[in-house]
Amino acid sequence: MSLISAVAIYFVLWWLCLFAVLPWRVRGQHEDGAVEPGTDPGAPVRPLLLKKALATTVLAAIIFIGVYLYFGVYELTLEDLMI
């Protein structure tokens, strides 16, 4: 696996993990009871984006290690996944 391929795969994995992590621990304004005028009631009170970015990075790194081991170290292919 080349460096460019590895970076591209990690980039895609990071974005996929971000969309999986974004809903974690989200409380909307309507749940908190303090809706600011002019905002959507479902808007998050505290989005915790830095913590979610860190969690995304760690999760994507763990998944990338598995992908790298499978395709880079063991040199298996997608056809080897079929049972």
Higher pLDDT, 18 or 81: 18
User: pLDDT, tens digit, for every residue of 24-76?
Assistant: 999 999 998 889 899 999 999 999 999 999 999 999 999 999 999 999 999 99
* List of residues 6+ apart from 6 with CB closer than 8 A: 64, 68, 72
The string of DSSP letters for 2-15 reads -HHHHHHHHHHHHH
Q: What is the phi-psi region of residue 82: left when phi exceeds 0, alpha when psi lies from -120 to 50, beta otherwise?
A: beta
Confidence at 13, pLDDT banded by 50, 70, 90? very high
**pLDDT at res. 38:** 93
The pTM assigned to this predicted structure is 0.85
pLDDT reported for residue 47: 94
